[in-house]
Amino acid sequence: MGSLKKLVKKAKKGDGEAFVSLVKQYEDVLYRTASKLLNNDEDVADAMQDAIISAYEKLHTLKNDEYFNTWICKILINKCNSLLNKKKNLSVINDHFLPEKGNDGFQKIELEDALNSLNEVYRLALILYYIVGLNIKEISEFLKEPEGTIKSRLSRAKSILRNNYYKNEGVMVYEK
């Protein structure tokens, strides 16, 4: 965390290499987030490029250096939403969100359908929690929603997935 603060301070002073180092640290998370929200690789590349440029131009507005990850992800999600609004596309969740086990193509398609059937607020909560790796508090701050709302959305999203995906397959689902 200490090196993150140092890199952010250097980048804020105009050190381009420090900014590139910061972006490289979160490049994978940014890519996975964008790919969950957008339909194709070209849109993902455009959104990431726009987000990185915006982040560089607005880095001086970052109030708390520790939240660089959350801040740049928020910029990226806003860019993704702008692209989606322009194209009026439905987002498709791709293979990165699917479990690694079992390469059964049919199961993957069914799970994709189940994930895509989620309301956008539920899908976004799942992406931020499981893909970006933010905790409940960070998601709450990021989306400007109460922590209880985020917990509720995660729980509801998982419940919907369980009900839509597993129960129709005759699989026993153990509720905690």
16 Cβ partners below 8 Å, 6+ apart? none
The per-residue pLDDT of the chain, averaged, comes to 79
Q: Tokens standing for 101?
A: 């086990």
Q: Domain tally for the chain?
A: 2
Q: What is the CATH number of the domain that holds 43?
A: 1.10.1740.10
Which of these three, 41, 70, 93, is where a domain ends? 93
Its domain, for residue 74, covers 1-93
Domain co-membership, 118 together with 156: yes
Q: Which of 93, 122, 153 is the last residue of a domain?
A: 93
Predicted TM-score of the model (pTM): 0.62
Same domain, 2 and 87: yes
CATH number of 142's domain: 1.10.10.10
- The mean pLDDT value for 93-105 works out to 48
Question: Is 98 part of any domain?
Answer: no
Tens of pLDDT, residue by residue over 44-96, are 999 999 999 999 999 999 988 888 888 898 899 889 888 887 776 444 444 44
Mean pLDDT over 119-146 rounds to 84
Question: Does 125 fall in a domain?
Answer: yes
> How many Å apart are CA 147 and CA 170, to the nearest integer?
34
